[in-house]
Amino acid sequence: MMDLNVVILAAGKGTRMKSNLPKVLQPLAKKPLISHVVDTSFLVEASNVVIVYGHGGSLVKATIDYLHPNKPIRWVEQAEQLGTGHAVKVALPELKSDSRTLILYGDVPLVSKETLQGFIAATGEQDCGLLTVDLDNPTGYGRIIRDASDNVTAIVEEKDASEEQKKVTEANTGIMLVNSEHLQRWLPALGSANSQGEYYLTDIVKMASDEAVNVKATMVKDPMEVEGVNDKLQLAKLERAYQLRQAYRLMQAGATIVDPERVDIRGSVSIGQDCFIDVNAVFEGTVTLGDNCQIGPNCFITNSKIGNNAVIKANTVIEDAVIGSEADIGPFARIRPGTVTEAGVKIGNFVETKKAHIQEGSKVNHLTYIGDAEIGKSVNIGAGTITCNYDGVNKHKTIIGDGAFIGSNTSLVAPITVGVGATVGAGSTVSRSAKEHALTVTRAKQLTLADWQRPTKKS
């Protein structure tokens, strides 16, 4: 197959966004609009991606370079927006010879790999290919004009269309696939004698038709795929459409999702069998769920791996962590970066963990902070335990041996080691190592003052 260039038009300012952020950097699923298009370009095996930028160029460039490192992306500035035809014309020097060029838009984020692959396959190497869409209300779009034998002869913009032409419901999505040599020939010949005084890319269709180059229209099934974003309302609409797609994908892979309209995936989630996801779960970055995981309502999970048969209860936050199989986490747990739990660990309500390795079968059930800690197997951490890991300047480690029992309301002043099988009495502040298989208790001895009396009110 011929090499594929993708030209992404992204010079528009996006005034209707009412934002300082350039339009193509507005986030959809926490990723800039244009970044979705760049990803899709490489999924359809573009060997060369050319981005035509204008407004906010340096920020767009820096963001894309950061998000897509080491990719063959070239940048072309269109200082003045003279129309879509002009925009593609400025990209001509960056196109490979003996290639085809697919034209995409930085603000049309949902066009899928499958749709583009179908479009590419349907369009001959010498053709002028158009992706079209049938719309109930095509107002504002360019219309596809066909002759008596149904061949496409032109695209007419809404503002230049006759009443008869406006009745056509087949609209131009803007996405085209054209042999690059045709573009080299046609684009310099475009004029701007139209109602908007712009160089219309769409005028190449008539040129193709006049030269008897085959114009091949391919109709997209789902209009949402080719919808552009111009304001925050459309952005929200596309966000929901995108999220629904993600939810469908998970359900097709076997997940039970209580309400597909109330789950958000800002990144990628992979799942094992029989996972159950309750309402308002939010996933970010790369999240992996094993088999038979249950994610309770309102959980927020970022860049983490959850083992088989884990139960994550309501309102739990998990970030950059690895949760072992058979875990029982939450409700209201906060699992921070660097937490690794082995099989069968229980972490209960109002427990915060950070850089903590917790081994098999250990329990941290209530109101506790475990940071910079190594916790052995079958350890019980009582309610209200704090690892005092920070001395105001440096962080220190707490190491707790297998089978240790930490009584409630204990402060473990790190660096500190609690031996295997050790017991720490409730209410202790422990600042030296606790001996294995022994009771360590640091609280004051209990006194009873039998002749003590409560104060009485002064008259």
* Range in contact with ligand UD1 (rule: CB under 6 A) among 6-14, 161-169, 322-330, 365-373: 6-14
Q: Does 81 interact with ligand UD1 (rule: CB under 6 A)?
A: yes
Residue 193, classified by CB atoms within 10 Å of its CB into exposed (0-12), middle (13-18) or buried (19+), is exposed
Residue 435, classified by CB atoms within 10 Å of its CB into exposed (0-12), middle (13-18) or buried (19+), is middle
Nearer to ligand UD1, 155 or 271 (CB): 155
Q: Does 52 interact with ligand UD1 (rule: CB under 6 A)?
A: yes
Q: Does 105 interact with ligand UD1 (rule: CB under 6 A)?
A: yes
Q: Measured at the alpha carbon of residue 172, what is the angle toward residues 167 and 176, in degrees to the nearest 5?
A: 160
Q: Where are the beta strands (DSSP E) in 185-331?
A: 215-219, 256-257, 263-271, 276-277, 281-289, 294-295, 300-302, 305-306, 311-312, 317-319, 322-323, 328-329
Nearest to 417 by CA among 404, 433, 436, 406: 433
Nearer to ligand UD1, 105 or 242 (CB): 105
Least distance between ligand UD1 and beta carbon 201 (Å): 4
Q: Does 78 interact with ligand UD1 (rule: CB under 6 A)?
A: yes
Task: Determine how β-strand 3-10 pairs with β-strand 346-358.
Answer: unpaired
Least distance between ligand UD1 and beta carbon 29 (Å): 19
Which of 60, 63, 107, 428 touches ligand UD1 by CB under 6 A? 107
Can you list the alpha helix ranges (DSSP code H) found in 220-286?
232-252
Site string for ligand UD1, 121-160 (x = CB under 6 A): --------------------xx------------x-x---
Which of 84, 302, 341, 387 touches ligand UD1 by CB under 6 A? 84
Q: At what angle do helices 113-122 and 33-43 cross, to 10 degrees?
A: 50
Residues 393-452 touching ligand UD1, rule: CB under 6 A, are: none
Lookup: tokens for 374? 């190594």
Nearer to ligand UD1, 89 or 377 (CB): 89
Least distance between ligand UD1 and beta carbon 140 (Å): 7
The CA radius of gyration of the chain, in Å to the nearest whole number, is: 31
- Residues 6 or more apart from 377 whose CB is under 8 A from it? 342, 359, 360, 361, 362, 402, 403
Confirm whether 366 is a catalytic residue: yes
DSSP 435: P
Residue type, 352: E
Which of 27, 228, 331, 427 touches ligand UD1 by CB under 6 A? 228
Q: Does 364 interact with ligand UD1 (rule: CB under 6 A)?
A: no
Least distance between ligand UD1 and beta carbon 55 (Å): 9
Least distance between ligand UD1 and beta carbon 94 (Å): 15
Nearer to ligand UD1, 87 or 329 (CB): 87
Least distance between ligand UD1 and beta carbon 99 (Å): 21
Q: Does 86 interact with ligand UD1 (rule: CB under 6 A)?
A: yes
List, as own/partner pairs, every contact residues 390-398 make where C-beta atoms lie below 8 angstroms and the sequence separation is at least 24, other chains included.
Answer: 395/371, 396/372, 397/372, 397/373, 398/370, 398/372, 398/373, 398/374
Dist CA 443 CA 219 (whole Å)? 77
* Range in contact with ligand UD1 (rule: CB under 6 A) among 162-170, 196-204, 241-249, 372-380: 196-204
Nearer to ligand UD1, 226 or 406 (CB): 226
Q: Does 186 interact with ligand UD1 (rule: CB under 6 A)?
A: no
Least distance between ligand UD1 and beta carbon 176 (Å): 9
First to last CA, the chain: 102
Among residues 55, 68, 357, 366, which one is catalytic? 366
Nearer to ligand UD1, 202 or 339 (CB): 202
- Residues 6 or more apart from 100 whose CB is under 8 A from it? 2, 3, 4, 5, 120, 123, 125, 177, 178, 179, 180
Site string for ligand UD1, 200-219 (x = CB under 6 A): xxx-----------------
Q: Measured at the alpha carbon of residue 386, what is the angle toward residues 381 and 390, in degrees to the nearest 5?
A: 140
| Residues belonging to the active site | 366
**Positions in the binding site for ligand UD1 (CB under 6 A):** 9-12, 52, 78, 81-84, 86-87, 105-107, 141-142, 155, 157, 171-174, 200-202, 228
